[in-house]
Amino acid sequence: MASHKVAFQQSTRDVLHSDLTFTIHRDGEKLGELRISKGTIDWKPKSKQRAIKWNWDKFAATMEAK
């Protein structure tokens, strides 16, 4: 079974519109970063330069459809 590790980073001070970033690893290898902000939720795979961005309405609809 795969071993997963999730770590997150938050600014030491509150900054308006600052993202909360989760770094996701599986078996010691980075899968990507999940960034949560006021307006969007973004997934940036380790091998890509651009993140996949969803607004909160699209994210909620996708999760409810599963």
Each residue's pLDDT, cut to its tens digit, for the chain (66 residues) gives: 788 888 777 666 665 666 788 999 999 999 999 999 888 999 999 999 999 999 999 999 999 997
How distant is the alpha carbon of residue 8 from its chain centre? Answer: 9
* CA-based nearest residue to 40, from 17, 16, 12, 22: 17
Cβ contacts of residue 20 below 8 Å, gap of 6+? Answer: 8, 9, 10, 35, 36, 37
Helix (H) / strand (E) containing 15: none
Q: CB of 18 within 8 A of CB of 26?
A: no
